[in-house]
Amino acid sequence: MKNERRVCRWYNETSGMKRAFDAGRLEKRWIDDYCLNSGTECVRKRRFENEGYVSPDYVLPDGTIDENLKNWVTGK
């Protein structure tokens, strides 16, 4: 059986996670485990779809804050 990956519908050019990954600021495991796994366990996706809340680009898919990513996003 083939291991099928389903891309999360929110993983596109406007995605903070995609931009961070493309810029080399985010480990591939975040993309593999969440964005290419339909986003089923993604806190960012769940909050957006259930609450309309857009997480800052430095909030990781598990809901934690990445300080290095925060500094990159905010320019500090």
What is the model's pTM? 0.85
User: pLDDT tens for residues 3-44?
Assistant: 567 999 999 999 999 999 999 999 999 999 999 999 889 999
pLDDT, residue 76, reads 81
> 57 pLDDT exceeds 70?
yes
Query: How many domains, in total, are found in the chain?
Result: 1
User: pLDDT tens for residues 33-56?
Assistant: 999 999 889 999 999 999 999 999
Of 43, 19, 22, 47, which Cα lies nearest the Cα of 33?
Answer: 43
Retrieve residue 7's tokens.
Answer: 């891309």
Say if 53 falls within a structural domain.
Answer: yes
Say if 1 falls within a structural domain.
Answer: no
- For residue 25, what are the domain limits? 16-68
| Distance linking the first and last C-alpha atoms of the chain | 47
> 71 pLDDT exceeds 80?
yes
> 1 pLDDT exceeds 60?
no
